[in-house]
Amino acid sequence: MNLDIRQIDRIIEMAWEDRTPFDAITFQFGLKEQEVINLMRKELKPSSFRLWRTRVQGRSTKHSKKRTFDEGRFKCSRQRTITNNSISKR
C-alpha cells in the first residue's frame, strides 16, 4: 500500500493515542494491526518503537473487543462545549 507522508503521520498519531483502537486505523486506512506494527517499527526510532509496543501490548482500549464501553467517547462533566469557534460558558 502506498501511503503519503501525511497519512503515515496520521497513522502514527492514531497508534499513539490510547483510546483509538486498531479497528479505527483499519477502517480509515485499510491497515491491519500487524501492518501498523510494521509501519511503526519502520518509521520510529528503535527506542520509541519499544516504548510504544510496551505501552500498547497491555492496553485493552486499543482492541475493540476488549473495551468495556460500547458507544462514544468519555466526556468529562467539566469539559466545555465548543460552538462557532468560541468556547461557551457554563
Sign of CA dihedral 5, 9, 43, 61: negative
Please state the rounded mean pLDDT for residues 57-82.
59
Q: Would you say the pTM of this structure is higher than 0.75? A: no
Report yes or no on 90 lying in a domain: no
Q: Residue 88 pLDDT more than 90?
A: no
Report yes or no on 56 lying in a domain: yes
Write a three-state SS string for 53-65. HHHHHCCHHHCHH
Q: Which domain range does residue 56 map to?
A: 5-66
Report yes or no on 22 lying in a domain: yes
Please state the rounded mean pLDDT for residues 62-87.
55
Q: Residue 70 pLDDT more than 60?
A: no
Please state the rounded mean pLDDT for residues 3-13.
93
Q: 58 pLDDT band (50/70/90 cuts)?
A: confident
Q: Residue 60 pLDDT more than 80?
A: no
Q: Report the number of distinct structural domains present in the chain.
A: 1
